[in-house]
Amino acid sequence: MQRYFIELSYKGTRYHGWQVQPNALTVQEVLETTLSTFLRRKIEVTGAGRTDTGVHASFYVAHFEVDELPFALSDLVEKLNRFLPDDIALHRILPVPGDLHARFSAIRRTYHYYISRKKDPFTLDTSYPYLLPLDLDAMNRAAALLTSEDDFTSFSKLHSDVKTNICKVYEAFWKEEGGMLVFTISADRFLRNMVRAIVGTLMEVGRHKISPDEFREIIALKDRSAAGTSAPPQGLFLAGIEYPVIP
């Protein structure tokens, strides 16, 4: 049995996230159905992690296993893309060692969050329109504190099933880019709702409702109720996943 990685992207607007769930359309379900149809056997796909309803992925990785392929890999990507909906695109399918896991072998993930600074009907599904003033310098001072912390309980979804809220954040910063404020954050792992909770709280810093020092205190409290409201899902993109070895 050979394991294959799939590199893909998707617009999450009409999906209830990545993971299969009852009575809801998900990216995983669509991908499994399409693969099973083409390969003429039941295919189960394992993703690099969950994304919530309305969240997008400009880069995502999943894996599946099959004993043989009826097409060359390059042909399979082309054929699958013809039948997948327009909001899911496959970029590459490649064989990998059997112990390389799309979720558990990942060593670094990167997210982007987009805030639109002008009214634009064409970015409503892919950014958070917010036209009031935001202090970008203060938001960056607060964001920089994330790299020196490790317990992110204050930004974790309550009652989740994870065993630890410890994460290593490698970088976190804001920049202006073509009428957008773009937040970039990279870490070894992320908690459920973590990025959106961080963005919502950093926006409170940008509105001068809290200071960067108070942002640090919120982290230290390890209390989700101390942090701000989560930013809306449509501005969030999973943008990068790194592995120790990819052929």
Query: Which amino acid is located at 179 in the chain?
Result: G
Largest CA distance in the chain: 59
E strand or H helix at 66: strand 56-66
The Cα–Cα gap between 160 and 148 comes to 24
Contact between 123 and 116 (Cβ < 8 Å): yes
Instruction: Look up residue 18 and give its two tokens.
Output: 């990545």
Beta strands in the chain (DSSP E): 2-10, 46-47, 56-66, 88-96, 108-116, 128-129, 169-177, 180-187, 236-242
> Which residues have a catalytic role annotated?
52
Other Cβ atoms less than 10 A from the Cβ of 159: the count is 6
Q: How far is CA 229 from CA 39, 142, 152, 154, 235, in A?
A: 44, 16, 15, 11, 14
